[in-house]
Structure 1
Amino acid sequence: MTGDELPDDAELTDAQRFQLAVSSIRDYAIYMLDINGNVTTWNNGAERFKGYTEEEILGTHFSRFYTEEDRQAGIPARALRIALTEGKFEDEGWRVRKDGSRFWASVVIDPITKKNGELIGFAKITRDVTEKQQAATALAQANAALFQSQKMEALGKLTGGVAHDFNNLLAVASSGMDVLLAQHPELQGSRTLDSMRRAISRGASLTQQLLSFARQQPLQSEEHDLNALINDFESVLRRAGNSSIQFKIQIDSNTLPVNIDAARFETALLNLVVNACQAMPEGGHLAISTNRIRLKEKAVNNLPAGLYAEVRVSDTGIGMTPDVAARAFEPFFTTKAPGDGTGLGLSQVYGFITQSGGEVVIVSEAGIGSSFSVYLPAVESNAARERNEGRLDIETVLIVDDQLDLLEVTAELFRTLGYEALTATSGAEALAVLERTPIDILFSDVVMPNSISGVELARLTREQYPDTKIILASGYPLPGLSATQGGVAGFSFLNKPYQLSDLAKTLRSKA
């Protein structure tokens, strides 16, 4: 028998049989650690999950499988400490493969001791449960969306009924005043009756807002270009702020035709702008942007798949905690001081947009700011539909850069090349766009200090959306990026500044 040959089964010891079985398992990563956490054995499942061969990993510390955040928090050492003191450590969390991609792992660590209790190492078993975690997350999101939808529907029915009954009471009061003045002309001009008339008028305005939230207000919907509506209304929107707020409007270069009640849309947009301005008492940045976007099925709550006009109002204000954001559209809910607001502004926006067949989504973080995205079904005229019939192969590119000026210029450059361009200012925002919108090309800056890097974004995109073409760009040379970002191997790369011809050549490449 040569050194490379295994003995017959009859010649194997129990220990050899056990080691052979462990090494052959591919559905679990099973390996041993010494008392300091260095890897001493490695099976086929570990190599399949993590991407390292036995030669690469033996003798290295197991903390390399953890994310940078977990390592800085001391979680690997904590896991061994708990395993030793409690007899076992069990947990789930993100782990990192050799190529930098992540997977959701279920981990068990057991201490190994001699008969006298002396610690000689640890046994570690890891399972890849990414699909299970994604399914659980999707189920939780679906349940939350269903609960929110049912809650808002119930609130709509309640407020609609209250508004209807209140309108009847106001009608009695208003008609009674008219009868009283007809019978007693000398009361004309009475300050008391004038105050009563103003109170009835304010009550009527209040019920109209409630009816708007309840989606029971009659709409006069016609086809309008949202970009034109916003441009015509820009002067009014700017006056809602003050000199301490930097106001910016970024309009999509294409027309955005929708069926909408123009007057009520302007009111809704003004409500969002006023809300954003009030969230920035010390000043800040307010931006309004529009996009033509194609959504996946139920990517935004329960909206069907299709073409939509997106209007986004973003601010750098005080932001909202998750519990406040969850209630933001409820009528009469407000975080403002008594007397500073009725709590009906956002509920009116929500009611009008959903009645128009759209949806409103809040993304907010306390201390960072808020973003309200309004989605309305886009319509196409016969002429536009005929033009687009020959453009079914038009591709959508997502451009990611934290430099806003460069982001806008790059988007316009892609549009001149015939692409449909969407933008994102961070990796997290880009992942949200990828989740809800079919993207053909991801074009991302590499270094984004306040976000995950472009390389990490590219790896996550490659893992989750393998059909998406990926192009990375940076002003840093490749050797420097390899040292700081882990390299861009496997992705198309452009050095900034690049020429139009370089971009076109890269877009034609197959990488």
Structure 2
Amino acid sequence: MERKSKEQGKADSNLQEREKIGAWSYDVLNDKTYWSDDMYTILGIPPEKGVPSLEEQKKIFFQDDYETLEKDFRLALIQGTPYLHELHIIYPDESVHIILNQGQGVKNAEGKVIWVFGTTKDITEQRKAEMALKESQVMLDYIEERSGVGSFVWDLRNDSLVYSRNMLTMVGLHSAPESLRDIIASLIHPDDKPRVKQEIHQMISYKKTYPMSFRISCPDGTEKILESHAKFLLDEQGNPIKCIGIHQDITEREKKQSTIQEQFFFQQTLMNAIPMPVFYKNLNREYLGCNKAFEDFIGLSKESIIGKTVIDIVPKDFAYIYQTHDDYVFRNQKFDLLETQAISTDGTLRDVLFYKAPFFNRKGDMEGIIGVIMDITEHKQLKERLNQTEKMQALGQFAGGIAHDFNNQLLCIMGHAEMISLGSRDENIRNHVKSILKSAEDSAEFTRKLLAFARKEKLSMSCIDIHSIIDDVTTILKHSIDKRISIQKNFQAINPRIMGNTSQVQNALMNLTLNGKDAMPEGGELVFSTENMQIFPNSYPGLEAGCYIKISIKDTGVGMDSETLKHVFEPFYTTKDKGKGTGMGLTSAYSMAVNHHGHIQVQSQIGKGTTFFIYLPTTESAIQHKKITQQFKQIQKTTTFNIMVVDDEEAICGLAMEMLTTLGYQVVSFKNPLEAVEYYETHYNQIDLVILDMIMPVLGGKDTFIRMKKIHPKIKAILSSGFSLTPEVQEILDLGMISFLEKPYRILNLGQKVEEALKK
């Protein structure tokens, strides 16, 4: 028995050494218990005290644990039944430890239990680690749940996946798919699968991850948008072997972003619908945004305006005025107006009115200002024109009264002078009378001018040719003006005929010409120009709708200041030296324009010359209007087509759109040919005809047509250009274009070309 005990002790020692556990045994026959050294350490009992008695052991364990141990130990003692328990023990220092205790009875040949062997292991630290891990997992699950993320681990070597609990909940699964292939097949939205595969392949190839978003189709039928952030774990060779990361549900965020974008798009569309320039700035006076009208007004794109201040985009003299007004609005935090001037994109000065007001956030804090610009140039000009008209009418009434009374006096003078001449044979007296009559006739001519200005003289009207009258005037001038003055003519008017009084028109043009001649004492250039123009209803104050000829007389003389321009058409007003002018020359020109149902304007600056513009209705205005109306009706019978206009000149695009819309067509226009090609690629089946400009930046008419023809070989297109039918134009037409439309074109020319093209 002693040898057996030694062998058993050796076996227990080996087991203890191998598994780092304490061993114990109980000799049933001798009622003796044996402990290994580690048992004392594990149970916190000094070895010198020996194996404690049952009563002492009872104090070591928690009461419930001891009762369970005692019960199962008896079963092992009687029947040899094995047991395994996790027990709590109390150390002498009152610290609690957890042990794993197991035992089993060994029977002899007669079936009686003679030994009970067991092991004990201190698992306190293991359980603490497990508890910490569990707490960490609970914390991780809580963080993932609250932040809307789920984590994953993907083993690239065997394509296996491990999902966190929240990851499974997020995608609506009860268990994780076995591989990434399963994820792509079952969850990724069909439209996103090719892109996701490609991006994963690229990340593995470059050994670098980057954020990726995609849609998933959950088992319950809902659709979500996930955003993925990941990191590769590399082997010793630097190759990815694992990928750890998180998925975040960004569905609501994307919906909100989409809503914000839609709201912003609506607001921008609403702003662009406002015809007046609109802008808004932050507290740093930097532009936050603007509408299309402001881009056009300032001559810059919105992208190049945002983030800049007014000092950056406007000439300094004007910018400081605008910024001072900004400062006033910021300082007082209230709406204010500023009437000032601005330089338009064509370099001309415009009278403008700035409306500026602060805007605030929900807390009531000021965040910036919003401004609206109203161009009041035409309004001021109209007001000045009305004032001028009223003043001229008053002067006309006054001048008419003077002329009437003066004519009565002239009648007496001339009558008596003639009576003296008839009753006298004295040659000397007759010569004096002749001089008196000559002066009286000159005075009568003067009164006729006054009556014409006052509209009290009836005129004899006939069909006259403006070009012929200008030719007559210039012929006379060539023999009487300084040879250093060059006379040029630029006749663009197709119809130069008006119903007018030859004498009055000729005198008016002569007076304007002489005025220009006097303004060029050192020589210069005098230019006569004509063109036809269509005046639409309410488009030009003071003129009725119809066809007009516009006569321009331009000199390169000394020019006039703003004060002179205010009085230039008034009777008796002159800037010439005393005795060198009556002040009726420009007044008679004004009278001629009014008497012929037209209008006269003047533009001038000191040192930059003067230009007079005369607008007179042509003889065919009424007839032509009726003819155009009839032709419009004929063309509009078949106008159910969609037309695309491509021209880099915005003014031409707008004019073509207006003409075609008037003819009843649906029109879409593009200034950028690349955008036009992109639009045509998706809408070619809705476009019946394309009108292409020949010369455009980025992409010319030829290349634009070639690209469109590749999209739709049966494209119908018209080439438009300011060039005539040159070999270069013909070369483009030979590519398959239907016809050629030369600029400038009239609305009827355009309508006929379009109708012919659509019929082919």
More displaced 10-residue stretch of structure 1: 85-94 or 354-363: 85-94
- Which amino acid in structure 2 is aligned with residue 252 of structure 1? Q
Change (3 A) 1:382 1:347: closer
In the aligned structure 1, how far is the partner of 2:626 from the partner of 2:369?
A: 59
Change (3 A) 1:236 1:394: farther
SS in 2 for 1:352: helix
Q: Name 2:545's counterpart in structure 1.
A: 305
Instruction: Identify the match of residue 156 of structure 1 among 396, 402, 410.
Output: 396
Q: Name 1:107's counterpart in structure 2.
A: 356
Report the CA distance between 1:307 and its aligned residue: 0.7
Q: Name 2:369's counterpart in structure 1.
A: 125
In the aligned structure 1, how far is the partner of 2:611 from the partner of 2:633?
A: 32
- Which amino acid in structure 1 is aligned with residue 496 of structure 2? L
- Which amino acid in structure 1 is aligned with residue 315 of structure 2? E
Q: Is the 8 A contact 2:528 2:552 kept in 1?
A: yes
- C-alpha offsets along residues 108-134 of structure 1, whole Å, 9 cap, x if unaligned? 46999xxxxxxxx9832204x35xx35
Report the CA distance between 1:240 and its aligned residue: 4.5
Report the CA distance between 1:286 and its aligned residue: 0.8
Instruction: Identify the match of residue 339 of structure 1 among 560, 579, 591.
Output: 579
Q: Is the 8 A contact 1:473 1:496 kept in 2?
A: no
In the aligned structure 2, how far is the partner of 1:331 from the partner of 1:348?
A: 8
- Which amino acid in structure 2 is aligned with residue 33 of structure 1? L
Q: Is the 8 A contact 2:330 2:358 kept in 1?
A: no
Report the CA distance between 1:389 and its aligned residue: 7.7
Change (3 A) 1:25 1:280: same
Change (3 A) 1:470 1:259: farther
- C-alpha offsets along residues 477-510 of structure 1, whole Å, 9 cap, x if unaligned? 759xxxxxxxxxxxx9989998444696687899
Report the CA distance between 1:324 and its aligned residue: 1.7
Q: Is the 8 A contact 1:313 1:371 kept in 2?
A: yes
Q: Percent identity?
A: 23
SS in 2 for 1:342: coil
- Give 5+ residue unaligned stretches, structure 2: 1-146, 149-248, 254-262, 272-277, 296-301, 636-648, 661-670, 672-690, 700-718, 734-738, 743-752
**Residues 444-455 of structure 1: pairs in structure 2 closer than 5 A:** none
- Asked which structure has the greater CA Rg, the reply is 2
Report the CA distance between 1:382 and its aligned residue: 11
SS in 1 for 2:532: strand
SS in 2 for 1:185: coil
Q: Name 1:318's counterpart in structure 2.
A: 558
More displaced 10-residue stretch of structure 1: 353-362 or 492-501: 492-501
Change (3 A) 1:254 1:64: same
Change (3 A) 1:298 1:344: farther
In the aligned structure 2, how far is the partner of 1:59 from the partner of 1:341?
A: 54
- C-alpha offsets along residues 405-462 of structure 1, whole Å, 9 cap, x if unaligned? xxxxxxxxxxxxxxxxxxxxxx9xx99xx99xx9859xxxxxxxxxxxxx9xxxxxxx
Q: Name 1:371's counterpart in structure 2.
A: 611
Report the CA distance between 1:143 and its aligned residue: 3.2
- Give 5+ residue unaligned stretches, structure 1: 8-21, 113-120, 396-426, 442-454, 456-468, 480-491
Report the CA distance between 1:170 and its aligned residue: 0.9
Report the CA distance between 1:177 and its aligned residue: 1.8
In the aligned structure 1, how far is the partner of 2:493 from the partner of 2:305?
A: 57
SS in 2 for 1:200: helix
- C-alpha offsets along residues 20-78 of structure 1, whole Å, 9 cap, x if unaligned? xx9999579666334xx557xx6xx8689979xxxx98997441697432587445764
**Residues 53-452 of structure 1: pairs in structure 2 closer than 5 A:** 61-63=307-309, 67-70=313-316, 73-74=319-320, 78=324, 90=336, 92=338, 106-108=355-357, 123-127=367-371, 129-130=372-373, 133-134=374-375, 139-186=379-426, 188-189=428-429, 192-252=432-492, 254-380=494-620, 440=659
Q: Name 2:244's counterpart in structure 1.
A: none
- C-alpha offsets along residues 147-199 of structure 1, whole Å, 9 cap, x if unaligned? 22222122112211211110110111111122233444336546654443333
Change (3 A) 1:49 1:272: closer
Q: Name 2:745's counterpart in structure 1.
A: none
Instruction: Identify the match of residue 282 of structure 2 among 18, 32, 38.
Output: 32
Q: Name 2:37's counterpart in structure 1.
A: none
Q: Is the 8 A contact 1:246 1:286 kept in 2?
A: yes
More displaced 10-residue stretch of structure 1: 348-357 or 291-300: 291-300
In the aligned structure 1, how far is the partner of 2:424 from the partner of 2:581?
A: 38
Q: Is the 8 A contact 1:297 1:305 kept in 2?
A: yes
Change (3 A) 1:239 1:353: farther
- Which amino acid in structure 1 is aligned with residue 544 of structure 2? P
Report the CA distance between 1:301 and its aligned residue: 3.7
Q: Is the 8 A contact 1:95 1:104 kept in 2?
A: no
SS in 1 for 2:574: coil
SS in 1 for 2:315: helix
Q: Is the 8 A contact 1:360 1:373 kept in 2?
A: yes
Change (3 A) 1:57 1:6: farther
- C-alpha offsets along residues 191-232 of structure 1, whole Å, 9 cap, x if unaligned? 654443333233222212212222223322111222233334
Change (3 A) 1:394 1:229: farther
Change (3 A) 1:46 1:189: closer
- Which amino acid in structure 2 is aligned with residue 263 of structure 1? S
In the aligned structure 2, how far is the partner of 1:326 from the partner of 1:210?
A: 20
Report the CA distance between 1:256 and its aligned residue: 2.0
SS in 1 for 2:403: helix
**TM-score, L = length of structure 1:** 0.61
- Which amino acid in structure 2 is aligned with residue 227 of structure 1? H
Change (3 A) 1:471 1:278: farther
In the aligned structure 2, how far is the partner of 1:247 from the partner of 1:394?
A: 45
In the aligned structure 2, how far is the partner of 1:370 from the partner of 1:295?
A: 24
Q: Name 2:227's counterpart in structure 1.
A: none
Change (3 A) 1:76 1:276: closer
In the aligned structure 2, how far is the partner of 1:381 from the partner of 1:96?
A: 33
In the aligned structure 2, how far is the partner of 1:6 from the partner of 1:65?
A: 41
SS in 2 for 1:217: coil
- C-alpha offsets along residues 128-147 of structure 1, whole Å, 9 cap, x if unaligned? x35xx35x655544433322
- Which amino acid in structure 2 is aligned with residue 126 of structure 1? I
In the aligned structure 1, how far is the partner of 2:634 from the partner of 2:533?
A: 13
- Which amino acid in structure 2 is aligned with residue 212 of structure 1? A
- Which amino acid in structure 1 is aligned with residue 356 of structure 2? V
In the aligned structure 2, how far is the partner of 1:371 from the partner of 1:57?
A: 39
In the aligned structure 2, how far is the partner of 1:470 from the partner of 1:68?
A: 34
| Number of residue-to-residue matches in the alignment | 396
Report the CA distance between 1:332 and its aligned residue: 0.6
Q: Name 2:15's counterpart in structure 1.
A: none
Change (3 A) 1:157 1:32: closer
**Greater relative contact order (Cα 8 A, min sep 6): structure 1 or 2?**
1
In the aligned structure 1, how far is the partner of 2:460 from the partner of 2:329?
A: 67
In the aligned structure 2, how far is the partner of 1:154 from the partner of 1:494?
A: 50
- Which amino acid in structure 2 is aligned with residue 124 of structure 1? G
More displaced 10-residue stretch of structure 1: 79-88 or 246-255: 79-88
